[in-house]
Structure 1
Amino acid sequence: MSDITSSLIVDFTSAVPETNRSKPPVERLLAGNPEQVARNYFSDSTGRFFAGIWESTPGKWRVKYSENEFCYITRGRVRIEHESGRGWTFSAGASFVIPAGFSGVWEVLEPTAKLYVIYEPA
């Protein structure tokens, strides 16, 4: 018999998320002192699919993605630069996908919040 709660809708307005406060690792930090909060509202049973809300104060750090991530910016502004030098700036209302294998820099230009959906390939 399966646990019925594992098949119910997860409503971000009423669910109690798993909350994690962090800062980028010092060896990846390029500027600022960004403080981040991730509120993970959903993780599937495989531990490879996640959804939640992430927030950060301004700062700049190197990233390397092993996961695929869909982002929807709800507040603020960010600049993301690929290691090749190509860059994108996103503000509230923008949505985009960062594919696994992306390597570059995240820069939070003003306090930012995003909805995220992450899939970590096997």
Structure 2
Amino acid sequence: MSVKILTPETGDPITPISEGWEVIEGNPVLWAWFEHTSEDGKLIEGTWRCTPGTFRAEYKYYEFVVMIEGVIEITPDGGETVVVRGGDAFAVEADFKGTWKIVEPVHKRFLVRLA
């Protein structure tokens, strides 16, 4: 078994909007760092930061999130809004479609399953 210490926010961040995400309100700016990929290439761990604004999001992959700070209102199509805050942990299923409203600047750690 090997263990890897993950250092957040090292190197240059990826700044473009992710595939499946579209700004629909405001002018949010986001930064993402991919800090580790599993040996089999199926898991990616990283850090994500974003300023206030609203996105239309369509997920292809499962994501587990630990919020460090900020507030997000997540509303699935046809569903009720879920509010997540710093200190919360949550999961987004691969078939999610809806909106992410960044209410307060967000700092989160994530794990995405690609397969």
Q: TM-score range by the shorter chain?
A: 0.7 to 0.9
- For normalisation by structure 2, the TM-score amounts to 0.86
Residue 18 to residue 49, structure 1, CA distance change in 2 (3 Å)? farther
1:48 is displaced (CA, Å) by 2.6
Of residues 30, 40, 43, the one that matches 2:37 is 43
Counterpart AA for 2:48:
W
Between the two proteins, the alignment pairs up a number of residues equal to 114
Report the equivalent of 1:112: 106
CA contact (8 A) 1:79 1:106 kept: yes
2 CA distance for matches of 1:14 and 1:79? Answer: 24
Where does the alignment leave 5 or more consecutive residues of structure 2 unmatched? none
Contact 1:30/1:60 (8 A) holds in 2: yes
- CA shift digits 1:73-107 (9 cap, x unpaired): 10111010000131100111000100110111111
Cα distance in 1, alignment partners of residues 83 and 75 from structure 2: 9
Structure 1 moving runs of 4+ over 4 Å:
none
CA distance in 2, matches of 1:61, 1:116: 18
Shift of 1:18: 5.9
Within 2, Cα distance between the matches of 1:53 and 1:120?
16
Max radius of gyration: which structure? Answer: 1
Cα pair distance change 1:8/1:20, threshold 3 Å = farther
Where structure 1 has 5 or more consecutive residues not aligned to the other structure, the ranges are 1-6
Percent identity (aligned): 24
Tell me the C-alpha RMSD between the 2 structures. 2.3
Partner of 2:50: 56
Equivalent in 77, 85, 96 of residue 102 of structure 1: 96
